[in-house]
Amino acid sequence: MVHSRRILIVEDEQDLADMLVYNLKKAGFQPFCAHDGPSAVQAALASTPDLIILDLMLPGLPGTEVARQVRTHPRTSKVPILMLTARADESDQVAGLSVGADDYVTKPFSMKVLLARVTALLRRVGGEVTGGASVRVGSLSADLAAHTVSVDGVEAKLTLTEFKLLVALMQAPKRVLSRNDLISRVMGPGIVVTARTIDVHIAALRKKLGSCGGMIRTIRGVGYQLTEEVGSPDPASSEIA
Ligand code: CA
């Protein structure tokens, strides 16, 4: 469960970039750098980091434009962005947030503050599943704090991924979620999986849910849907949506 989060640092001031790399490494992250706008966009798209620390004033392309491009691309649209701005200029901060930065830190900043913001942002993104109470659909019930699922009151032993998948479906009952929806809800940014991986997890999940397995329906060519009725899980073919 503990893997080191990959953080893209976009900063043209070499000293500051080095200091960020040093401190993020020390805090257990896996930082890597880009030093201008265009290579920042390239690096983000090529490696889908878990978080981007983005300086606003950059050669080649301003930080706001980098943020806009990162937000536009489906692969990186949900990667949290922490913007670095100049203290004096409040309009910079507004500009940064309006193009999709999640938070900003003004220069000069203390490493302590920066690390706290990074950690908070990562927690916010990774924590969708925790914090609520419980969800219930038909005979299925999920306890979001305890990370447990029960079928007719009997606990089903799920992996974390299976649990998150099921909760994503339970939180959107009757809605059809595409495999890409599920990937982004379950895997979080920075983890590259194929749609086929989702099919495999769903197949395993159905088995573990026993009599409730049929509540997860395959909508061919689209994705998956959770219904209250137990149907035949995949009417026509295998688990492939
Ligand atoms: Ca700069």
- Report pLDDT for 238: 44
For tokens 């900063």, name the residue.
11
For tokens 């998948």, name the residue.
165
| Cβ atoms of 179 and 241 closer than 8 Å | yes
Backbone angles phi, psi at 47, to 5 degrees: -130, 5
- Report pLDDT for 127: 46
Distance 120 CA to ligand 1 centre (A): 24
Q: Are residues 119 and 202 in the same domain?
A: no
Q: Are residues 13 and 119 in the same domain?
A: yes
Backbone angles phi, psi at 37, to 5 degrees: -60, -55
Distance 131 CA to ligand 1 centre (A): 37
Q: Are residues 99 and 174 in the same domain?
A: no
Q: Are residues 105 and 205 in the same domain?
A: no
- Report pLDDT for 126: 58
Collapsing DSSP states into helix, strand and coil, what is residue 216?
Answer: strand
Collapsing DSSP states into helix, strand and coil, what is residue 103?
Answer: strand
Beta sheet of 140-143, edge-to-edge order: 134-137, 140-143, 148-151, 154-156
Query: Residue 65 is part of a domain; what is its CATH number?
Result: 3.40.50.2300
Distance 37 CA to ligand 1 centre (A): 10
Distance 10 CA to ligand 1 centre (A): 9
Q: Are residues 14 and 98 in the same domain?
A: yes
From first to last of its 241 residues, the chain has per-residue pLDDT tens of 345 789 999 999 999 999 999 999 999 899 999 999 999 999 999 998 999 999 999 999 999 999 999 988 888 887 889 999 876 666 776 777 777 787 888 888 999 999 988 987 887 665 443 335 778 888 899 988 778 899 988 999 887 778 889 998 988 877 888 888 888 777 665 556 677 878 888 998 999 999 899 999 998 888 999 988 776 545 444 444 4
Three-state secondary structure of 55-93:
ECCCCCCCHHHHHHHHHHCCCCCCCCEEEEEECCCHHHH
- Report pLDDT for 157: 87
| Cβ atoms of 96 and 68 closer than 8 Å | no
DSSP H helices, 73-149, are 90-98, 111-126
Q: Are residues 75 and 140 in the same domain?
A: no
Spatial separation of the C-alpha atoms in residues 197 and 231, rounded to whole Å: 23
Q: Are residues 84 and 170 in the same domain?
A: no
Q: Which two tokens stand for residue 6?
A: 């990959």
For tokens 């927690």, name the residue.
123
- Report pLDDT for 87: 64
- Report pLDDT for 239: 45
Strands (E), 87-191: 103-107, 134-137, 140-143, 148-151, 154-156, 176-178
Distance 11 CA to ligand 1 centre (A): 6
Spatial separation of the C-alpha atoms in residues 135 and 171, rounded to whole Å: 7
Q: Which two tokens stand for residue 11?
A: 């900063």
Domain that holds residue 202: 134-226
- Report pLDDT for 191: 57
- Report pLDDT for 2: 43
Q: Is residue 241 part of a domain?
A: no
Q: Is residue 64 part of a domain?
A: yes
Distance 13 CA to ligand 1 centre (A): 6
Q: Are residues 119 and 138 in the same domain?
A: no
Q: Are residues 121 and 10 in the same domain?
A: yes
The DSSP bridge partners found for residue 225 are 176, 217
Distance 174 CA to ligand 1 centre (A): 48
Query: Residue 172 is part of a domain; what is its CATH number?
Result: 1.10.10.10
Distance 20 CA to ligand 1 centre (A): 14
How many domains, in total, are found in the chain?
A: 2
Q: Is residue 100 part of a domain?
A: yes
Give the C-alpha distances (Å, rounded to integers) separating 60 from 12, 14, 92, 169.
10, 16, 18, 43
- Report pLDDT for 8: 97
Distance 29 CA to ligand 1 centre (A): 22
| Cβ atoms of 211 and 151 closer than 8 Å | yes
Residue at which a domain ends, from 72, 102, 125: 125
Distance 39 CA to ligand 1 centre (A): 14
For tokens 């159905």, name the residue.
206
Distance 48 CA to ligand 1 centre (A): 22
